[in-house]
Structure formats: C-alpha cells, structure tokens
C-alpha cells in the first residue's frame, strides 16, 4: 500500500505546508487546516538529495547518454492521478513517470508555486 504524504500551497500566506508523520490522525488534522488549499500528493519518489517528490514539483533529470556523456534534461512538472503517475515536460510531452525516470537521477529544482 502506498504511503500517503501531502503538502498544501497556502495562497494567502504564500507558503507551502507539509503534513507531519503520515498517520491517520495527522492526515485528519492536516485536511482540517489545509483542505481548502491546493493539495499535492507525494508521488512515491525521492530525489538524489533525499527530498520527497510531490505533485507540482519541477525536476532536473541527470543521466548518461549512449556515448557516456553526462546530460541534464529540462525541468519537468509531475503530478499523479489515482491510477497512474505522469510527467509533462516544457514542450507538453506527457509520459509515465516510471518509464521516463528509469536510469536517471532526479533532483527537485522547485515547484510550480514558489
């Protein structure tokens, strides 16, 4: 079963609120306080710096090409649905996250709000 972690963009205050320990009591309290804000779910990935990747994050993808050269992709915005997780690049190409990130190191560069 996937662990549920949430964060919320608080428009009025201009800050990101993160859910504490992922248990039912904390989730209930978080939803009470931030349920009317823009909610984002953890997509189940952690970047190279140990930071959780959430819906709405902008990512830099580091990888090695077929010639052994280090490459760095453009930022990507990720989001998840109930069944599948997707990423969309700056050109509008949509691909499944699992397929795209295979063999690549990802790094959170920011999010779509901050």
- Residue 80 belongs to what domain range? 6-111
What band does 58 get if pLDDT is binned at 50, 70 and 90? confident
What band does 98 get if pLDDT is binned at 50, 70 and 90? low
**Residue 95 belongs to some domain of the structure:** yes
Which tens digit of pLDDT belongs to each residue from 5-32? 899 999 999 999 998 877 777 888 899 9
**Residue 66 belongs to some domain of the structure:** yes
User: Between 22 and 37, whose confidence is greater?
Assistant: 37
**Residue 1 belongs to some domain of the structure:** no
**Residue 53 belongs to some domain of the structure:** yes
d(CA 79, CA 41): 8
pLDDT of residue 4: 80
pLDDT of residue 16: 94
**Residue 61 belongs to some domain of the structure:** yes
**Residue 20 belongs to some domain of the structure:** yes
Q: What is the mean pLDDT of residues 31-48?
A: 88
* List of E strands, 1-104: 6-10, 15-18, 38-46, 52-54, 57-64, 70-72, 76-80, 85-89, 94-96
Domain count across the chain: 1
pLDDT exceeds 80 at position 75:
no
């Amino acid at each position: 079963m996937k662990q549920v972690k949430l964060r919320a963009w608080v428009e009025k205050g201009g800050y990101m609120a993160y859910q504490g320990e992922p248990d039912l009591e904390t989730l209930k309290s978080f939803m009470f306080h931030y349920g009317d804000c823009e909610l984002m779910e953890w997509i189940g990935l952690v970047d190279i710096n140990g930071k959780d990747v959430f819906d709405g994050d902008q990512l830099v993808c580091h990888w090695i090409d077929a010639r052994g050269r280090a490459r760095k992709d453009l930022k990507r915005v990720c989001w998840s649905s109930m069944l599948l997780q997707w990423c969309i690049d700056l050109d509008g190409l949509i691909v499944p996250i699992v397929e795209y990130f295979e063999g690549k190191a990802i790094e959170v560069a920011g999010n779509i709000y901050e």
